[in-house]
Chain A
């Protein structure tokens, strides 16, 4: 069992090295537009990592994570604008609310299997979107403008520079990665993979399938809401269209699928490829080309699922397990 421990240590060292490089990048890249893309890339890497816990490790494909993202964004924005609560507490509150809602929704939906579960997540997120769209207290369709109170870490507002957001996103990404790394070797990580691979066999070994799914959903939703809260501070204006649409659910799932679903490095690799590509196509083709990025996702997914169902990470795989499969 040494190779496994060695691999985990190597992953940890690689992550530390990559984080250190990422921390130095802003010293050389001063362009605000590029910095913006880097912030989004890190954010989606972290969000996809969060999605991967439920969708990748536990095998419960959710296409409704925009709900938790939106809840995080709205909780932070509402608490700040209505009650003057600092965004840090809003972030934590949003995470807890999202985790609780994930548990409440998981209670009925985790009894569904396969495609029915996926459809349920889409529908529930859509209901959330409509509720916020019509909820006057939360600004309904107009959304919430987060008032500028001057640059400070306490209020988590920075108007002059994107760098504080960049470093927060980097830390968020590292934390999400580290949590995944840690869970991967915990009994929860094993339960999740068991539930994904063969729920009946898992039950015969004494794994409580339902509880395992609930645990994965709570962790995943909590982290996703942190991302939503961060995003609200980053763009300083939110409405249902900008934080709760189906596109966010897709953007959280796709990097993991592209990079390698249910793998430690898949979400990061996928986000590093997909998010800059999305942003660049958007700005080159402009406002009128809305949808070209979506066509691109579609094409990427088709190619990946045909050529590399394990994701791009399969190209770097050192494990003999993935090759030489007979039949």
Chain B
């Protein structure tokens, strides 16, 4: 479904990812892990069209999408939840959700994605009138994911969904990711909390200083002794 081939992206000469190759097949949950500054966010931004790779290609459903403007990538069915959530703080929860459904082209279809959203996060339906800034950190993350779901994506990309959220809600959000996959979507998730994300992912990549250091089945990576030592502190 998604294929990144030898992508290199740099910020003003500073290379953030180099020669990264990853694949995501339909219906998978794929995790990209690694420490701070490993290039995880850059990778996701490169796919979303927020950054352009200096070399390499990104293809989605067989079509090359690197170089395509960001809004057209959204229109092709890739939704992206940025790091730190990036909500519209002064708009209501309802308006934030509605905004997700206004795609660049075409008439918005709200009912179906909204049903899924309320099914995943019932507490949002109780807070429709509230301003987004009045939600707790976990609820804001739920709203950010829901807003992305309103674009009816086929591929959902999450950048550090666990950041700044209490552990109980992290679990709830990861359970929601599984349900999103079960609803027919594909998920690419970038996460620092490796132990937790490897439990829900099918496959995983580990990035280190901008390069893919390891890849494979999530269960195998989780039990790999080197990984356990280096990343899981075991």
Interface contact A205-B151, CB-CB below 8 Å: yes
Tell me, yes or no, whether A3 is within 8 Å of chain B by CB.
yes
Known contacts A201-B82, A204-B50, A206-B75; decide if A321 and B92 are in contact (CB<8 Å): yes
**CA distance in complex: A3, B130 (Å):** 13
User: Of A4, A201, A203, A320, which contacts B71 at CB under 8 A?
Assistant: A203
Chain B: interface size category: 35 or more
Interchain CA distance A206-B148 in the complex, whole Å: 10
Q: Which residues of B contact A193 (CB under 8 A)?
A: 88, 91, 95, 99
Q: How far is the CA of A213 from the CA of B129 in the complex (A)?
A: 26
Chain B 109-132 near chain A by CB (<8 Å), digits 1 or 0:
000000000000000000011110
B residues in contact with A320, CB < 8 Å: 129-130
Interface residues on A, range: 20 to 34
Cβ B88 vs Cβ A206 within 8 A:
no
Complex Cα spacing A320 to B126, Å: 13
B103 within 8 A of A: yes
For residue B93, which residue of chain A has the nearest CB?
Answer: A321
- Distance A194 CA – B90 CA, assembled complex (angstroms): 10
What are the interface flags for A305-323 relative to B under an 8 Å C-beta threshold, 1 for contact and 0 otherwise? 0000000000000011110
> For the complex, is B205 an interface residue (Cβ under 8 Å from A)?
no
- Among A4, A187, A324, the residue within 8 A (CB) of B108 is A187
A35 to B151, CA, bound (A): 51
For chain A residues 1-36, which have a beta carbon within 8 Å of chain B?
Answer: 1, 3-4
Q: Is the CB of B98 within 8 A of A190?
A: yes
| Contact status B134-A326, CB under 8 Å | yes
Chain A interface, DSSP helix/strand/loop, else mixed:
helix
Q: Is B172 an interface residue (CB 8 A)?
A: no
Question: Bound complex: CA of A247 vs CA of B46, how far in Å?
Answer: 47
CB distance from A8 to the nearest CB of B (A): 13
Contacts of B108 in A (CB 8 A): 187
B131/A321 in contact, CB under 8 A: yes
* Interchain CB contact under 8 A, A325 and B151: no
Docked-complex contact B86 and A207, CB < 8 angstroms: no
Q: A3-B129, A206-B74 are in contact. Are A198 and B151 (CB under 8 A)?
A: no
Q: A325 CA to B74 CA in the complex, in Å?
A: 32
Q: Does A51 contact B (CB under 8 A)?
A: no
Bound together, the chains give a CA A325 to CA B130 distance in angstroms of 9
**Which of B89, B95, B104 is within 8 Å of A206, CB to CB?**
B104
CB interface residues, A 210-247, toward B, < 8 Å = none
Chain B residues whose CB sits within 8 angstroms of the CB of A325 once the complex forms = 131, 133-134
Report yes or no: B86 in contact with A201, Cβ–Cβ below 8 A. yes
Q: In the bound complex, do residue B50 and residue A324 qualify as a contact, i.e. CB atoms below 8 Å apart?
A: no
**Contact partners of B203 in chain A: CB under 8 A:** none
Given A187-B108, A193-B95, A324-B88 contact (CB < 8 Å): no
**A205 and B100 in contact (CB under 8 A), knowing A194-B88, A198-B89, A200-B86?**
yes
Specify which of B72, B86, B134 is in contact with A198 (CB 8 Å cutoff). B86
- For residues 39 through 83 of chain B, which have their beta carbon under 8 Å from a beta carbon of chain A? 48, 50, 69-75, 79-82
B88 touches A197 (CB 8 A): yes
How far, in angstroms, from A200 to B102 measured CA to CA in the complex?
16
Contacts of A205 in B (CB 8 A): 74, 79, 99-100, 147-148, 151
Other A-B contacts than A205-B148, A205-B151, A321-B134, 11 sampled, CB-CB below 8 A, are A193-B91, A198-B86, A198-B88, A204-B70, A204-B81, A205-B100, A206-B71, A206-B151, A319-B92, A321-B131, A325-B134
Q: Name 11 A/B residue pairs within 8 A (Cβ), A-sorted.
A: A4-B94, A190-B98, A193-B99, A201-B82, A201-B88, A204-B81, A205-B74, A207-B71, A320-B129, A321-B131, A324-B134
